[in-house]
Amino acid sequence: MNWKDKAKRLLGNRTIHIEGDGQFALVTPCRTRAFSLWPTRAEAKQAKNSIESCGGDCHRVSSHYIADLGSAA
């Protein structure tokens, strides 16, 4: 499965930065949306917990989330 293509399709066209590879997307839905892909939910959660801010336009960590691309239609 091409997780980057699926993430682009499901997470929208505002996405400007994609990195990594895996089923779990850590999404930072701030003004300039970005996401990183991780092979496991645990790795994505660890990455999420390490972010305090994703940039000057960040809506704060509470708006960041993890999406399971494997369970999405």
pLDDT digits (tens, 9 = 90+) for 14-23: 777 788 999 9
The CA-based angle 11-17-22, given to 5 degrees, is 65
Cα separation, 72 vs 14, in Å, equals 19
Spatial contact of 2 and 68, defined as CB atoms under 8 Å apart: no
Q: Are 5 and 43 in contact (CB under 8 A)?
A: no
Owning domain of residue 37: 3-68
Which pTM does this prediction carry? Answer: 0.76
Q: Does a structural domain hold residue 73?
A: no
What's at 59, amino acid-wise? H
Task: Count the domains in the chain.
Answer: 1
- Does a structural domain hold residue 15? yes
pLDDT, tens digit, 9 for 90 and up, residues 35-73: 889 999 999 999 888 776 666 566 666 678 888 998 865
47 in a structural domain: yes
Asked if 37 and 18 count as a contact pair (C-beta separation under 8 A), the reply is yes
